[in-house]
Amino acid sequence: MKKIGYGQLFAVLLLIKIFGFVCSKSIYSIEQMAGVFISTVAQAIVVIPMLILCNSNRVNLKKDVPLGKVGLAFYVFFFVLWGAISFVKLWDVTGSISLPVKNKVFAAFLIAIVCLYASRLGLKVLARSAVIVLGLLALALAVMFIGAYSKIEILNLVKNENSESIWIYALNDFCESGELVALLVLLNFTQSNHKKGVFSYLTAKLVIIEFVSFIGIGVTGHLMQLIEFPFFEIGAYTQPFSTQRADSIYTILFAFLCVINITVQIILASVLIEEIFPKYRFNEITSIILMLIISVAINSTGMDLSLIWGGLIVLLSVIAPLIMYIRRKINAQVQNA
Amino acid sequence: MDFMHNTVYEDEPIIANLQENILRIKKICDYSSDLLVNEINVSGVNVALLCCEGMVSSSILTELILLPLTSINLNESSPQNLYDHINTKMLLSTDRISLFTYGNLFRTLNSGFAILLIDGLDKAFAFGVQGYDKRGISEPTGEGNIMGAHEGFVEVVRTNMSLIRRRIKSPTLKLELMMTGSKSKTDICLCYMRDRVPEKLLNDIKKSLNKIDLEVILSSGYVKPFVENKSNGFFDAVGTTERPDVLCSKLMEGRVAILVDGTPFALVIPKLFNESFQTLDDYDFKPYYATFIRWIKYIAFFISVLLPALYIASSIHHPELLNSTLLLILAEAESNAPFSIIAEAIGMLIAYEIIREAGIRLPKAVGGAVSIVAGLIIGDAAVKSGFVSTPLLTVIAISVISGFLTPDLHQQTTILRILFVLFGGLWGLFGISLLAAVFLFNICSTEDYGFPVTAPISPFTPKAMRDIVTRINFRKMQSDTFTIESLKSEKQN
């Protein structure tokens, strides 16, 4: 059932990406900007099979996903893991910015309650909300630009000797693009103009990341090496008001992005759980509980999931849709024959 | 009293014999004192004229009904001939109905009609000669305007219908009367433009109205819950207005209006959230000024809802947001206050609500005393005694005054203000953000018959946004007609 427009798809994807970007500890550099550009081009190629699949006919998740229900379970696991990682990112960030909730787990619990409520309202409501939060993001970026305008030093825009290679940054950005996996499910619920929505998202994502990176490098210069969460520090450095610190304002944006991000994961996980277990009624609450449990486990053990995460993204956003595309082509040829 | 005897009359056919007929009518209404029965002989046929005391105009009754009746002279006197003569050769009243059951008889009788019973006939005439006392058309109390009309709806549905008809003279304007309320039999009128209204919307609304199973309908508030499709929304999905000009502008956009007899507030379906910030005056002012005022209202809404919460959040959790001078002033003011800042704020907000409600409910003569007690004693004395701090009182005052710019959202603003104060006090900007997210999702989920309340912001409709961000010029407006059809939910597109 088609529920959201391409503009709403654009908003949802962009906000998910920006949440990841906001929570990133990776320093900004010219190499990083070039890496993001390459990664975006690669993503534009990777989404083509998905777009072809969804343009011609709706993807039947139960039938088309490789390995059937097992394959769907992989996707469920991915979204639950993504939600868990989002909670871990939330705890990481609260260590740096002043979040006035003493207990981190309680902060996660509050967010979980809000996300549970939002997920019960459905994807259409989430998509509508995302369009409005996009306005908040635009406002935050505008404030950032106004504050940074007089503080940017062009001389700071030089090659960073301590930086990784461009290809590492490209790979890192690609392996953090979980929204590619979400795209396969979201495209099923998008009414029309899929291409417009997806390519607009990729373009906007690139523009915003490059814009913020540019401002960050230009304003902070060599201080970038010492910064833990570049986005929030840039917010503090570029504040246009006569206050001592203004990064608290970005707390508002962060909270909205966090809620939207986790809610998307809950909705997508519950949609797929419904495909596997149609009679099960507690999809959303099961998803959120699993997310919280896994996040506590990740946080307490300190395990590094980068490889697993990157592998899952490649598997579920590149290999699986390619297999689905090839199978559909073969089936079409067999039917024509 | 024989209740069973009374309730079965609804579909009971009228008795032909005049005396039995009159007796039956008196039994049904249990010999109610306001029932007037006048028996006369018209051209050899016994007839009776019934009316409710105080409901008919004596002069109109005498001139239009009694005098013409008594002057009838039939060649062949018979009940049927008399009926046919009145039906085909006499006008008597522009509003004339033939009645066949006691249910319809009582509905028209209690609506101010005069009923003519004819001996030997199992039917009756009802003549529209209403003359009950009613409030004159005056300026609406709740929706002030500078340059617009100063007419508002009244309690009589037929008068309200005429106020609409005078403004839209097109034959495509349809005013559909129906009755609801098993005991009150209240007239409600469905108003819409036949060439603009989405058919599905109209049919769905009619279905909803048919599901009303109340005994009495005394105001539009009784009908509203039945036409609010999803009633979990915090914000209204059905609008109300007291102004016929506003209603007409909504009808021209393809909306449906419901007039309820007995109340001057009409319902408008569907309602969009941004309409709470629009007035008809916007379209009388220059576009630049109207745009300025509209943005003032948007800002005022956020100030009204968020300012106390932001003040408390920054005082307790985020003092770094304030500059040093402001911080020192607040710190000094709050250090002398005996209560926590959250308790102070909630106390002040509740005190304001008590004063506001008292101002509405008190008799006018005592109203002045409320102003003195509230303004001088509570405001001045509370600060001088040190119960509340001056900065907080100032913030609360600015917040409530800002709320006056959007009276349509008064209920929501009041509750939101208190909730945000609580969340801001407990969890600072994080708490405010979470609560704002909850209400954002709630308002995005509110839709009425498939029309989302947040349209045209989300789902985004660029053309309609012109009248949100600015007040567009009439020359641009006339080039393309806007209707709500373009704002339908994504699922229906």
Q: Which of A128, A131, A255 sits opposite B434 (nearest CB)?
A: A255
Give chain B positions within 8 Å (CB) of A254. 433
Q: What distance lies between CA B108 and its chain's CA centroid?
A: 25
Question: Which of B434, B442, B446 has the highest number of chain A CBs within 10 A, making it the mutation to test binding with A?
Answer: B434
Asked if residue B337 has pLDDT above 90, the reply is: no
In the structure, what pLDDT confidence band is assigned to residue B478 with cuts at 50, 70 and 90? low
In the structure, what pLDDT confidence band is assigned to residue A162 with cuts at 50, 70 and 90? low
Q: Which of B271, B299, B315 is the last residue of a domain?
A: B271
Residues B251 and B309 in one domain: no
The answer to whether residue B36 sits within a structural domain is: yes
Asked if B359 contacts B409 with a C-beta cutoff of 8 angstroms, the reply is no
Lowest mean pLDDT of A171-175, B237-241, B459-463, name the range.
B459-463
Higher pLDDT, A57 or B360: B360
- pLDDT reported for residue A258: 94
d(Cα A266, Cα A273) in Å, to the nearest integer?
Answer: 10
CATH superfamily of A6-331: Hydantoin permease (1.10.4160.10)
- Calculate mean pLDDT across residues B271-286: 88
Q: Report pLDDT digits (tens) over B90-111.
A: 877 788 889 999 999 998 998 8
Asked if residue A244 has pLDDT above 70, the reply is: no
Q: What is the dihedral of CA A133, A136, A138, A143, to 10 degrees?
A: -160
Mean pLDDT of chain A: 87
Closest CA to B272 of B293, B249, B291: B249
Q: What distance lies between CA A242 and its chain's CA centroid?
A: 33
Percent of the residues in chain A that have a pLDDT greater than 70, as a whole number: 93
**A256 contacts B433? CB cut-off 8 A:** yes
Asked if residue A53 has pLDDT above 90, the reply is: no
Closest CA to B263 of B154, B182, B113, B388: B154
In the structure, what pLDDT confidence band is assigned to residue B256 with cuts at 50, 70 and 90? very high
Residues B291 and B423 in one domain: yes
Residues B339 and B398 in one domain: yes
Residues B250 and B304 in one domain: no
In 3-state terms, what secondary structure has residue B179?
A: strand
Q: Report pLDDT digits (tens) over B163-202.
A: 999 999 999 999 999 989 888 889 999 999 999 999 999 9
In the structure, what pLDDT confidence band is assigned to residue B493 with cuts at 50, 70 and 90? very low
Asked if residue A105 has pLDDT above 90, the reply is: no
The answer to whether residue B461 sits within a structural domain is: no
The answer to whether residue B391 sits within a structural domain is: yes
d(Cα A17, Cα A212) in Å, to the nearest integer?
Answer: 13
- Calculate mean pLDDT across residues A49-62: 74
**B457 contacts A124? CB cut-off 8 A:** no
Q: What distance lies between CA B341 and its chain's CA centroid?
A: 39
Catalogue the E-assigned strands of B319-407. none
Axis crossing angle, helix A230-237 with helix A249-276, rounded to the nearest 10: 150
Amino acid at the residue B243 = R
- The interface residues of chain A toward chain B in range 5-24, judged by CB-CB distance below 8 A, are 5, 7-8
Taking the CA of residue B468 and the nearest CA in chain A, the distance in Å comes to 14
B335 vs A: CB within 8 A: no
Asked if A235 contacts A247 with a C-beta cutoff of 8 angstroms, the reply is yes
Asked if A146 contacts B472 with a C-beta cutoff of 8 angstroms, the reply is no
- Cα angle B463, B148, B454; round to 5: 35
A110 vs B: CB within 8 A: yes
Structure tokens at B123: 């039917």
A189: nearest CA in chain B?
Answer: B491
- pLDDT reported for residue B1: 38
B90 vs A: CB within 8 A: no
Give chain A positions within 8 Å (CB) of B454. 128, 132
Question: Which of A242, A248, A249 has the highest number of chain B CBs within 10 A, making it the mutation to test binding with B?
Answer: A248
Asked if B251 contacts B173 with a C-beta cutoff of 8 angstroms, the reply is yes
A121 vs B: CB within 8 A: yes
Give chain A positions within 8 Å (CB) of B342. none
d(Cα A295, Cα B408) in Å, to the nearest integer?
Answer: 44
Residues B255 and B295 in one domain: no
Residues B350 and B244 in one domain: no
Lowest mean pLDDT of A206-210, B76-80, B181-185, B372-376, name the range.
B372-376
d(Cα A140, Cα B200) in Å, to the nearest integer?
Answer: 41
The answer to whether residue B354 sits within a structural domain is: yes
- pLDDT reported for residue B2: 42
d(Cα A153, Cα A215) in Å, to the nearest integer?
Answer: 9
d(Cα B283, Cα B472) in Å, to the nearest integer?
Answer: 9
Residues B96 and B239 in one domain: no
Asked if residue B283 has pLDDT above 60, the reply is: yes
In the structure, what pLDDT confidence band is assigned to residue A150 with cuts at 50, 70 and 90? confident
**A118 contacts B437? CB cut-off 8 A:** yes
Percent of the residues in chain B that have a pLDDT greater than 90, as a whole number: 44
Give chain B positions within 8 Å (CB) of A124. 489-491
Residues B243 and B97 in one domain: no
Asked if residue B4 has pLDDT above 60, the reply is: no
d(Cα B199, Cα A151) in Å, to the nearest integer?
Answer: 58
Beginning with the edge strand found earlier in the chain, give each strand of the sheet holding B96-99 in spatial order: B35-42, B45-52, B113-118, B124-128, B96-99
d(Cα B85, Cα B67) in Å, to the nearest integer?
Answer: 15
The answer to whether residue B491 sits within a structural domain is: no
Taking the CA of residue A120 and the nearest CA in chain B, the distance in Å comes to 10
CB-defined contacts A:B, below 8 A: 116
Segment of A79-83, B330-334, B357-361 carrying the highest mean pLDDT? A79-83
Q: Report pLDDT digits (tens) over A287-332.
A: 999 999 999 999 888 888 888 888 888 888 888 888 888 888 888 8
- pLDDT reported for residue B305: 96
Residues B264 and B292 in one domain: no
CB environment B302-328: b (16+ within 10 A), e (fewer): ebbbbbbbbbbbbbbbbbbbbeeeebe
In the structure, what pLDDT confidence band is assigned to residue B230 with cuts at 50, 70 and 90? low
d(Cα B131, Cα B133) in Å, to the nearest integer?
Answer: 7
Amino acid at the residue B427 = W
- pLDDT reported for residue B384: 79
pTM over 0.90: no
The answer to whether residue B492 sits within a structural domain is: no
d(Cα B238, Cα B243) in Å, to the nearest integer?
Answer: 15
The answer to whether residue B464 sits within a structural domain is: no
For chain B, the domain total comes to 3
Asked if B118 contacts B140 with a C-beta cutoff of 8 angstroms, the reply is no
Task: Please state, in angstroms and as integers, the Cα–Cα distance from residue A323 to each residue in A65, A67, A329, B92, B305, following that order.
Answer: 9, 11, 10, 84, 52
d(Cα B456, Cα B270) in Å, to the nearest integer?
Answer: 13
Residues B297 and B365 in one domain: yes
Asked if A51 contacts A187 with a C-beta cutoff of 8 angstroms, the reply is yes
**B437 contacts A114? CB cut-off 8 A:** yes
Q: Report pLDDT digits (tens) over B285-317.
A: 888 999 999 999 999 999 999 999 999 998 888
Residues B403 and B293 in one domain: yes
In 3-state terms, what secondary structure has residue B117?
A: strand
Give chain A positions within 8 Å (CB) of B428. 99-100, 248, 251
**A133 contacts B458? CB cut-off 8 A:** no
Q: Are strands B173-180 and B124-128 parallel, antiparallel or unpaired?
A: unpaired
In the structure, what pLDDT confidence band is assigned to residue B3 with cuts at 50, 70 and 90? very low
ipTM over 0.90: yes
A102: nearest CA in chain B?
Answer: B427
Closest CA to A127 of A14, A242, A247, A289: A14
- Calculate mean pLDDT across residues A234-255: 76
Mean pLDDT of chain B: 87
A265 vs B: CB within 8 A: no
In 3-state terms, what secondary structure has residue B39?
A: strand
d(Cα A191, Cα A186) in Å, to the nearest integer?
Answer: 10
Residue B372, domain extent: 285-448
Total number of residues shown for chain B: 493
**B429 contacts A251? CB cut-off 8 A:** yes
Segment of A233-242, B54-63, B439-448 carrying the highest mean pLDDT? B439-448
d(Cα B115, Cα B92) in Å, to the nearest integer?
Answer: 12
Q: Which of A3, A111, A121 sits opposite B445 (nearest CB)?
A: A121
In the structure, what pLDDT confidence band is assigned to residue B481 with cuts at 50, 70 and 90? low
B424: nearest CA in chain A?
Answer: A100
- Calculate mean pLDDT across residues B442-470: 86
The answer to whether residue B388 sits within a structural domain is: yes
Residues B259 and B290 in one domain: no
B445 vs A: CB within 8 A: yes
A305 vs B: CB within 8 A: no
**What residues form DSSP beta bridges with B187?**
B179
Main-chain phi, psi angles of B179, to 5 degrees: -120, 140
Contacts of B18 (CB under 8 A, 6+ apart): B39, B46, B47, B48, B117, B118, B119, B120
